[in-house]
Amino acid sequence: MTFQFLSPKPSSYTNKVDADGDIDMLLKTERENFETKVVTPGEIITHATQYMGGHGTYISPETNQRLSSVAGVVDRVNKLISIRPLHTRYTGEIGDLVIGRITEVSQKRWKVDINSRQDAVLLLSSINLPGGVQRRKTEADELQMRKFFSEGDLLVAEVRETFQDGSFSLHIRSLKYGKLRNGSFVIVPPALVQRCKTHFHTLPCGVNLTLGLNGYIWVSKHTTQTVEELAIYSNENEEIDQENRKAIARVCNSISALSRHFMCINDKMIMLAYEASLNFPVKDLLKLDVMEVITSEVSEKMILLKAGMRR
């Protein structure tokens, strides 16, 4: 049996404009192509010469085109193009929303697994006390640190500071952050999670969605309680009925289908996958052939949506 290795197939670029033409139109066209673009090593990223190359890119000496040197997601900041590898640890920035798991309780701090090369640090001084009180932490607070967070607890936090050794410092000084309950945990490649204005969503199916930029996602039951009414450090889960359990499981499996086929993950894509999954029972959603059907339908809907936006 013989095997034949084919070179990566270049992506098709619609509405191409010559470099000598309207530069703004060219940048707009390229921006649309970069939004959800996953590339393989050797694949053409862009024909335009206006862009600067970042990590994971190089210029072909024969064709003078910019190519990808790794498999990942195209990331564009103004005219700088780089590739975020699919299989890599989280390397974040200040202000990122992340989901983590407590791995250790030590003196005046917790260590948190956030899918990075090292555990992040959450200081006792960087949390809200029960009731949202902000005051100087005392020795009594230090003695009852496990009442706030203990090993294995899941939390959502914000990156407060980054250090030279690659570690992070977190904070949960806002009441919208804190311990996670009443839901299910999903892990995806961090490069697939899109940055947006908010990472807290309430889906039309009655499920709350928290998208961590570190590739950790939390899908939970929707609650009508206000932040002040919630016991933010409670370990007690609320009662979840059968319909909510099915909705949570369907959303989680839809996210897994998008992740397996390396499609971008945001609230809109998840809802498209959720709607496509309604034709199948929840227990069948993790079958490979079902995943293929769901993601194919999502791709078709995205093409139609983009075509409608261009008009």
Tens of pLDDT, residue by residue over 3-52, are: 555 544 444 433 433 433 333 444 444 444 445 578 889 888 888 878 88
Position 259 scores a pLDDT of 93
**Chain mean pLDDT for the chain:** 83
Position 7 scores a pLDDT of 47
Give the residue among 189, 252, 176 at the shortest CA–CA distance from 220.
252
pLDDT band at 193 (very low <50, low <70, confident <90, very high): very high
Give tens-digit pLDDT for 248-297. 999 999 999 999 998 989 999 999 999 999 999 998 999 999 999 999 99
Helix (H), strand (E) at residue 115: none
pLDDT band at 214 (very low <50, low <70, confident <90, very high): very high
Compute the average pLDDT of residues 161-184.
Answer: 88
Give tens-digit pLDDT for 129-150. 776 666 778 888 888 899 899 9
- Interstrand relation of 97-106 and 52-53 (parallel, antiparallel or unpaired): unpaired
Q: Where are the domains of the chain?
A: 23-85, 88-180, 182-233+242-311
CA dist 255 and 263 (Å) reads: 9
% of the chain beyond a pLDDT of 70: 83
- Return the structure tokens found at 59: 């210029």
Position 150 scores a pLDDT of 92
Q: Which CATH number, 3.40.50.1370, 3.40.50.360, 2.40.50.140, 1.10.3720.10, labels domain 88-180?
A: 2.40.50.140
The helix-helix angle for 288-310 and 242-260 (nearest 10°) equals: 80
% of the chain beyond a pLDDT of 90: 42
Residue 59 pLDDT greater than 80, yes or no: yes
Residue 209 pLDDT greater than 90, yes or no: yes
Position 1 scores a pLDDT of 58
CA dist 146 and 139 (Å) reads: 13
Q: Is 216 helix (H, G, I), strand (E, B) or coil?
A: strand
Position 305 scores a pLDDT of 80
Q: Is 83 helix (H, G, I), strand (E, B) or coil?
A: strand
Residues in Cβ contact with 218 at an 8 Å cutoff, skipping those fewer than 6 apart: 99, 154, 156, 180, 183, 184, 185, 186, 209, 210, 212
Yes or no: is domain 23-85 CATH 3.40.50.10420? no
Ranking 12-26, 152-166, 236-250 by mean pLDDT, the lowest is 12-26
Position 226 scores a pLDDT of 53
Same fold yes or no, 23-85 and 88-180: yes
Phi, psi dihedral angles at 245 (to 5 degrees): -60, -45
**8 or 300, which is more confident:** 300
125-128 contact pairs (CB < 8 A, 24+): 126/160, 126/169, 126/170, 126/171, 126/172, 126/173, 127/171, 127/172, 127/173, 128/172, 128/173, 128/174, 128/175, 128/178, 128/232
The helix-helix angle for 242-260 and 267-277 (nearest 10°) equals: 110
Position 13 scores a pLDDT of 37
Residue 206 pLDDT greater than 70, yes or no: yes
